[in-house]
Every structure is written in structure tokens, then in C-alpha cells.
A = this chain, B = another copy of it.
Amino acid sequence: MYTLEEIDRILDHCAHLRNLDREPANLYDPIGYMMSMGGKRIRPKLCLLACNLLKEELDDPVLFPAMALEIFHEFTLIHDDIMDRSDTRRGRPTVYKKWDENVAILSGDVMSILAYRYLSHAPADVLPQIFDLFTTTATEVCEGQMFDMNYETLPFITMDDYLAMIGLKTAVLLACSTKMGGLLGGASPEACQALYDFGYRLGIAFQITDDYLDTFGNEKVFGKKIGGDILNNKKTWLLVESFRRADITRKKTLESLLKMEADDPAAKIEAVRQLYVDLGVREAAEAEILAWHRKSLEALARAGFDPARTTEIETFAQQLIHREK
């Protein structure tokens, strides 16, 4: 079995994606730009780690479908950045900003098609299932993004709404990654379902961690300004849980803080942050992340793999949750 470092190096076999050298240049250069941007390649790694539980060899019929997940993920980021009007990502200009909106729309479009090209390298016997899983997942990701945008204009949402939304927007793609690894490795339907649930619950934990770090993370390590979600009134786990817990007085305080113009962004961030602490939401988030992580490992255990073999994938899951950025 491969170590995480070896999996990283296997993924570098697709480094050609960083420089596609095709015409027209302003269609393909943004793809290379995104693929060179230092993405963590979480989804293909999960896919390869899962496949490696069953199969020693991680050759092109496995590697290329795994990369399809990353290509698809990066495509969603290009379009998300247009829709969110985000100027920077990972400290660099977004495609939308560096080129323009039309280029961002079209190079994103061709990336989503490219993902299918990479997917098509899967072995013929599992190709229909893999296409079906990927297409269902890709659809759900779009649904999640639309729900997220729709929720922006609502004063608050329920925890059920939030969990369903991040389930679609984030968790299903991690679930697709782990299940795809199972399919590529020839896992049984039960093991594939277990891998899906593992990835899904890990995805929920991952998104709540993302929300948590945006407010409580270490700015130097996190790589972007703390408190962006607060300034954008984003429906994070922290905000949703706060509304759930707060009495009338605190609800009013929270609502007025959110309505506050960001004349003094630091003050707004600090005030909301403190309210989260006072409401016990900070510890609650930490507990929630651990709970979903634990549930993800329970699902993985259902797949019935030899615990000696699941060390790498469990370590990687741990890193996703106990990260600082």
C-alpha cells in the first residue's frame, strides 16, 4: 500500500494539467492557472486512498478518474468566484479577476467537460456506475451552491437547512471521491455504500471545520483574513447554531450586529466572535466536528477492511479535521 506522500507523487503524474498548451490560450491558460494554484487535491487523494484499500496498483484507469474529481472541484471554484464576486483565492487573483468574467464562464465550462474526459478512462466494467455517481454528485453540488446563494438573503436558516445545504455543496463530492475509489477497486455494493457514508460525514466535519477556522483560526496559518464569513453574513454552522441557542435578547443583538455596516470590520468580527464564545457555540462547533468525524470512522468500519490497511486514509481524515487552514 502507498503512503500519503507516495499518493501525492502519483497525483503529480497529472502535472500536465498545469500547462495545457492548447488554443485558444485564454480558454486553457485559466485551467492551468487553477490547477497550479496549490489546491490540496483532497478529493483525488481520498479516491486513491480508498481504491488502495482494495487494489495495489493505482494506474491511469484509476488515476485519471480520481483527477476528474479535482478538475470538477476547480471548475466549481471558478464559477463560484464569479457568482460571489471574489477577487482572490489562495492569495492570488481569481480567474474572473485575472482575465474577465466571460473567460471565467467559458474556461469553467470546458473544465467541467474535461472532468468527464478524465472520468472516461475508468475501466469499462465500472464506467457506467462511475458516470452515474459522478453525474448525480455534480448535479447535487450545483443544487447546494444554489441553496447557499438563496439562503444569503434569508435572515436565518434552520440547522436542518444548513446541514442539507452543506451536504449538497460540499459533502457529496467527498462522498463521491471515497465511493469512486471503492468502485475503482472493485468493492462490494455494501462496502461502496460504507465508503460513501464515510466520505459524506467526513465532508460535513470538513465544512464545519472550514466555518470554524474562518472565525477562530490562526490568520497566519489560515492563509486568508479571519472573519470573512462574518463580514459577508454567511450562513455558517456557527451563525446557525447561535440563532438556535440565543434567547430573544441575544437574537436581537446578533441580528443588529449582522446588519451593521462594516465601517469597522475588526469590531464587527470581534463582537460576533465574542457572542459565539458567550453562547458556547465555539465549543459546540469543536464537539460537532469531532462527532461527525467519529461517525465517519464508524461508517468506514462498516466496510470491513483490515484496520491495518485503513491507517493512511484515517490519518488523512484526521488531517482534514485537525488542520489549521
Give the residues in chain B near A127, CB-CB below 8 Å: 127-128
Q: Which residue of B lies closest to A85 (CB)?
A: B102
**Cα–Cα distance between A113 and B172 once the two chains are bound (Å):** 16
Interface of A: prevailing SS: helix
Residues of A within 8 Å of B, CB-based: how many? 36
| Interface presence of A59 (CB below 8 A) | no
Contacts of A139 in B (CB 8 A): 110, 113-114, 117
- Bound together, the chains give a CA A128 to CA B83 distance in angstroms of 34
A residues near B (Cβ < 8 Å) are 23-24, 26-27, 79, 82-83, 101-103, 105-106, 108-110, 112-114, 116-117, 120, 124, 127-128, 131-132, 135, 138-139, 142-143, 145-147, 149-150
Contacts of A102 in B (CB 8 A): 82-83, 149
Are A113 and B114 within 8 A (Cβ)?
no
What's the minimum C-beta distance from A204 to chain B, rounded to whole angstroms? 20
Give 7 CB contacts A-B under 8 Å.
A24-B143, A24-B150, A83-B102, A83-B105, A110-B142, A110-B143, A113-B135
Q: Given the known inter-chain contacts A79-B106, A105-B105, A128-B124, please indicate yes or no for A116 contacting B135, CB distance below 8 A.
A: yes
